[in-house]
Chains A and B, each alone.
Chain A
Amino acid sequence: MDRLSELLILSATGDTKAFQQLYELASPRLFALCKRLVREPNLAEEVLQEGFIKIWRHAAQFSASKASAMTWMTTLVRNQALDALRQAKDQQLFDQDLDYETLEFASPELSPDKLYQCSDEAKQLQRCLALLKPEQRQYIMQAFYYGYTHEELAQLSTTPLGTVKAWIRRGLEQLRGCLQ
């Protein structure tokens, strides 16, 4: 069992010191994800805060046999960020003028050092993503990291909506086959 899982299990018993250590280890990466998804630093801070309060409250639901602690926490914080993003869009608080960022950090050609640090599940997903066509991979990763909808992806890439939907659908179908 990895260190994060140990700390999360201890947090479930009410151990605040373990929870603080968990926060120190996991928050830098989760904060980076929140910033990409909600695109507004203050909102990203709020999402991270709410996300960790949820982690504290629901730590007892974590099962190390089903997922790694980082995966479990990422799912929880990302869902929190997606909800905040949808609310911001509904209330028109959302900044549509985006600084486009490349996805080089998740490129299929990661350095051996970087790959060494990743979990087996992440490596497997990376291998499966590498089998997709570049457009399929690009759209799926942009949807994950930035929470883009089909319409936003079509707008950003100046591609017809139907084409974007078809690329994503085929990409997901291929991923499904590869991951299983």
Chain B
Amino acid sequence: MKRYQNPEIFEYLAMSYALGTLQGRARLRFESLLAKHLYLRTVTDFYQHQFATLGEFIPPEPVPSQIWQRIESYIKAEQNAAKPSVWQRITAKFSWPLAAVLASLAALVFAGLLMSQPSQHTYVATLKSPLHSDKMVTAMVQYEPMQLALDMPSETFAGAEGYLPTIWCIAKDKSQAPMRMGTLAREGEMRLPIDMKTWKMMPQVAEFAISLEPMDNLNGATPKGEIVFRGQVRVL
């Protein structure tokens, strides 16, 4: 992962991958990293979606009718191939009442989906160490699932035994105190669930910071230890 720890490099690679100019072995290497790192996937998805909007400028062209016929045949064959399960055999006896109930439920769920789909961003940050330029932690706050996801390379906190790596949100409004997000593992990927209140605060967050807290500040409301990583929050 070392080559990809520099955000300048991996964002450029993510853009090249999304554009399609990343080719051959480099593309395959990048794909294997994508499978491992949620942060890379999110950044790459962001650029894939950005570039995909270029498709809107293409003049539409008539589509030969046989394409839909082949797709339809495929779907029908797939549906026919699905053998009736025990559940389907049981429900076949009560198909009309059940269908009515399921249709009502589906309508309710769909109506709920239509009404409750807010446009949600992802908040990302690459946290760098002022002392070790080769070290980096990536942090990402997602709506679905609602969580803070972190990716910490091995030996991120080497030499910090006896301290608790703790992540904080630093507000844009400097008069506000930092908000404690949680205690971190020493390395690897980590997910910290967050609540709706924290999610709603994200637009006001300027930075993430990781401090090394003394053991007696496990649930402290403010950082006492040294800040070892920090990085600006960006919206994707």
Contact = CB atoms under 8 A, between A and B. Distances in A.
Interface of A: 1, 6, 9-10, 13, 16, 19-20, 23-24, 27-33, 35-36, 45, 48-49, 52-53, 56, 63-67, 70-72, 74-75, 78-79, 82, 105-106, 110, 114, 117-119, 121-122, 125-126, 140-141, 143-145, 147-150, 168-169, 172-173, 175-176, 179-180
Given A106-B57, A176-B11, A180-B235, A65 B118 contact: yes
Interface of B: 11-12, 15-16, 19-21, 23, 45, 48-64, 66-68, 70-72, 74-75, 106, 110, 113-114, 117-120, 143-144, 234-236
A169 B12 CA distance: 8
B51 A144 contact: yes
Nearest to A85: B20
B71 A70 contact: no
B63 A27 contact: yes
14 contacts: A23-B71, A29-B55, A31-B61, A35-B61, A45-B64, A48-B67, A65-B144, A70-B56, A71-B52, A75-B48, A105-B59, A118-B56, A122-B56, A140-B19
**Chain B binding surface, main DSSP class:** helix
A32 B58 contact: yes
A64 B117 contact: yes
**Chain A binding surface, main DSSP class:** helix
Contact of B16 (A24, A45, A65, A172): A172
Contact of A49 (B59, B60, B67): B67
Given A27-B63, A65-B120, A145 B58 contact: yes
A150 B54 contact: no
Contacts of A35: 61
Contacts of B63: 27-28, 31, 48
Given A16-B75, A32-B61, A179 B50 contact: yes
Given A27-B67, A28-B62, A172-B12, A119 B56 contact: yes
